[in-house]
Amino acid sequence: MIDMYPPAEYYHLAQAEAQPEAHEVKKVDVSKYLPPTAVSATIIVTVMPPTGAVVIYSPGREGAPAVFKGPKSVGEIRIDGPFVYVELLDGATDYRIQYLNWREP
């Protein structure tokens, strides 16, 4: 009986292909557009290219992000401070945020 194993290079190549793609995360200062008392905001996100997506979340709320799919989406994000994090997904290379309104306690 002959045992046939693929060469070690095959395993390294297969493992490299299986690694998830690293996503770029940007810290965005929303204090220029929203008052410090805002607890949430309704926004329009334009994603480039239109097949991409963007995830936005506040510090401490990484487990409950808001997902915006291209080319343009409207949604609400929670605000817990002057910054939010924006993560580009599915091949997105750029985004634009328009702030429509906000809510205060």
Domain boundary assignment for the chain = 21-103
Residue 72: its pLDDT value, please?
Answer: 95
* Residue 69, token pair as written in the block: 């799919």
- Contacts with 30 (C-beta within 8 Å, 6 or more apart), sequence order: 41, 79, 82, 83, 84, 99
What would you measure as the largest C-alpha separation in the chain, in angstroms? 74
- Class of the CATH domain delimited by 21-103: mainly beta
pLDDT for the residue 2: 54
| Per-residue pLDDT at 24 | 78
Mean per-residue pLDDT pooled into runs of 10, the chain (105 residues): 51 46 82 94 95 94 92 95 94 94 93
pLDDT value at position 17? 47
